[in-house]
Amino acid sequence: MSRSFSAGVKEELTERIDSARHCRLAEMRAIWLMQEGRREEGTLCLRRTPLAAVRKFFTILQKAFTIDADYGDGRITGDPADLAEVCRAVEGALPGRSCCRRAFLRGLFLCAGTMNDPEKSYHLEIVCRDARLAGEAEEALRGEELHAHRTSRRGREIVYIKDAEEIVRLLGYMQADRALLAMENARVVRDVRGRINRRVNIETANIGKTVDAAARQIIAIERLLKKSGPGELPPALREMAALRIENPEATLEELGAMFDPPLGKSGVNHRLRRLMKIAEEDEEEENAESV
């Protein structure tokens, strides 16, 4: 099974660790809140899923704090005083700066973000465990002038973006550069494919109109020739009638090229209209006689 686009984004975000301590704390705060972190005596407990987020929390902890700690099975153990310090710092880290908002959103997406394959549709969302966290996510996005929407699903608060430009900006903001490039490539492919499909649809519609018009012309001409015979028509119209019957799929331009000398599209159209008018008048006369 091929890896999902979301998995690729998260893998890239896992590799990104900010150098500034306040940014590190902001990302730790996001993971702590998303993973329902809690402190017990000598232990920091986080949910084990997704495992990559918990591992990153511990990795950042080691870089942001000079304490001895061990990690295993979703638990970080160490000196209770040291862990209390970590807990206070993380819980008090409010992402007020732009760089901290970026780290915070990166942590949120790493824990509970999903993104559709951009070759199919544009949709990015973060599933927050409560309204408070969803509010923080919205505030962080608004701080960077990113316009998200919000809804509820199965007791969870969903913050989502469906606009392609906004998703591109968010990926770039979170420094998911590979994902951003992949999305831009997918957008180009979708745009080209869309233009081709629209052109094909237009051409198909035009062909259908041409075929329908030709069918009506041939029926009218054959009825006219059956009743009156080709000798009743002027030479120019007689030639036009013969070419239309012999070339039912030809366009007006193609029919015009068959004349010697060639006839323009307007000239062909004029002759066909004259034939149709004669056929209609003949049919009306026939109907009047039968009454």
Polymer length of the chain? 291
- % of the chain exceeding 90 in pLDDT: 46
- Quick check: 291 pLDDT over 60? no
Identify the band that residue 1 occupies on the pLDDT scale cut at 50, 70 and 90: very low
- d(Cα 219, Cα 214) in Å, to the nearest integer? 9
Work out the mean pLDDT of the chain and round it to a whole number: 88
pLDDT score of 285 more than 80:
no
Least confident range of 51-55, 152-156, 220-224? 220-224
CATH 3.40.80.10 fits 5-175, yes or no: no
10 contact partners, CB below 8 Å, separation of at least 6? 50, 52, 109, 110, 113
Q: How far apart are CA 256 and CA 277, in angstroms?
A: 20
Alpha-carbon distance of 35 to 61, in angstroms, equals 15
Instruction: Determine the Cα–Cα distance for residues 187 and 44; give it in Å rounded to an integer.
Output: 43
Q: CB neighbours (10 Å) of residue 66?
A: 7
Helix H or strand E segment including 235: helix 235-246
